[in-house]
Structure 1
Amino acid sequence: TQPNKAIVGSNAFAHSSGIHQDGVIKNRETYEIIDPKDVGVTESAIVLTARSGRAALAYRAKNVGYNLTKLQLDEVYSIFLQFADRKKEVDDSDIHKIIESSKVYNEIISA
């Protein structure tokens, strides 16, 4: 099956564009008229790319244990964009590297 095939492709419930990701995070039904579980997919995926926005980065960072303030997110996001420009997809281990390299890392882990 082609990855981008509607409903059954591996990317059918993967979201990688900023405003689209923000909508899915706020209300999944905005962009998904079918529940992923109805077709055997565990859950939607927020895929971090150079087109992702702050909401997607904050969401994924929170999923790996970082609850960022707006100011911390702004700092981390600028590093993320540089990183994402060099890599097709940013994964969880990359999120840790990005946050650990930020000026606000000590502030984040002591919160």
Structure 2
Amino acid sequence: MSAIAEFIDAEVKGTDVVLFMKGTPSFPQCGFSGQVVQILDYLGVPFKGINVLESADLRQGIKDYANWPTIPQLYVKGEFVGGCDIVREMFQAGELQTLLSENGIPVENAA
């Protein structure tokens, strides 16, 4: 396993909720990343944002790690949840709130 894959694996498995995104949670650099940040913020979910724009190796590495071609990518308790469209659809259906709660992640606006 490469150093970048080891870094990604450690972050995914060592952080309850991690979002690989373009930009940072306080300053997203793309609309899709911004939408996922808004959803997580609305739910009051503590999460770690990792800026893939800081490294070409990281940007490609996360795509290879999940075998998923786009960014952002959301992980909960070590499991890949999806990208922006999936996260948004799960949120609108209440499935994201359920997934988070079932994994012991506190959710403020679960209704």
TM-score by length of 2: 0.33
Higher fraction of strand = 2
Select the structure with the greater relative contact order (CA < 8 A; seq sep ≥ 6). 2
Larger radius of gyration: 1
